[in-house]
Chains A and B, each alone.
Chain A
Amino acid sequence: MSADQDTTSDLGIGFFGNMTASISHEIKNALAIVNENAGLLGDLALLMDKGRPLSAERLTTIAGNIRRQVQRADDIIRRLNRFAHSAHEPATRIDLREVLAFTVALAERLATMKGITLVLAAGEPVSLVIRPFVLENLLWLCLQRLFVAAGSGGTVELATEAKDGCALVRLRCGSGTQVGPVAAEAARLGQSLLAELQTEIDTDADQGELLLRLPAPACS
C-alpha cells in the first residue's frame, strides 16, 4: 500500500462519520414530528378552553402518531448502537446476507437522498468469519460510487451467493450502468479494506454488476 492510500482506520472513521451524521438526521426528523404533535396537543387544549370541542378520536390519532415516531426513533437508535459496537468487533462468524441487510438499513436514507432504491435480493444464508465493520465499510464505499453510476431513479440490488467454496456479493445496477470505472475506483480507494478482507473486486458488465469475491479461507 502506498503512503497516500487510506488505512482501514482512516476509511473506518470516514464511514463512521457518514453513517452517524445520517442517523442523527433521521433521529432529529422523528423528534421534530414528536415535538409538533406534543405542540398540537397544547394547541388543542387551548382551543378546548376557548370552547372548541375535542374528540377522543382526535386524541387517539395524535397519540398513535407520537407512538409511531417513538418506535421509529427507537429502531434508529438500535441500529446506531449495533453499528457503534460493530466498529470494534473482532473477526467473527456472520451470515453475509444479514450484514448486507444491515448495510441496506444503514445506507437506505442516503440512497433515497440520491434518488436510489436499495433492494436486498432473496437468498440463502452464507456463513463466513469476518470483521463485519470492515465489510460494511467496503460495501458502503462501493455503494456510494454505484449511486453515482446508476443515477437518480436507479436501483441497486444486493445479493449473496455461495459459489465454488467462496462467498460472493453481487451489487447489481442493471445493464447500461458503467460498472468498470466503479470497480477501478473502489479497488483503488478501498485497497486496505480489500486486503484485510482478502477480497477481490470484479464486474459483470453485461448485468451491470459489481462482484465482491470473498475467498475460500473466509468461507465456511
Chain B
Amino acid sequence: MYTMVLSICHRITGILLSVGLILLVYWLVALASGSLAYSAAVERLRSPLLQLLLLGWLFSFFFHLANGIRHLAWDCGFGFERRQARASGWAVVIVALLLTLLSVLRVLRTRGGFA
C-alpha cells in the first residue's frame, strides 16, 4: 500500500516539476530581458502565492530526485525485497523533507524568502 502511494507521488511530483519548468524559463527570460524586467519578475516571485508554490516545487524536486534514485537502484536490480522497498520508501520521504527544510533554512537566513 505504502509503496503504491509513493509510486503515484513520483508521477504527481514529476508533473508538478514539468509545470514548474515554465516558471524556471520565465525567470531566465526575465534575466535575459534586462534589469528592469528582472526586478519586476523578482517582485512577482515574491508574492505569497508564488513563494508557496516555490516551496511545494522544492519539496517535489527533492522527493522526485530521491525516489528517482530509488527507481534507478531497482532498475539495476537492488532493493526489491518487500522490507527493503518499504525501508527505502521511508528513507526517500525523510531525505526529501530534510533537504527541503535545510534549503528553506538557508534561504530564510540569507534573504528571507525564495528570490
Are chains A and B native binding partners rather than an unrelated pairing?
A: no
Chain A interfacial positions (CB closer than 8 Å to B)? none
Chain B interfacial positions (CB closer than 8 Å to A)? none
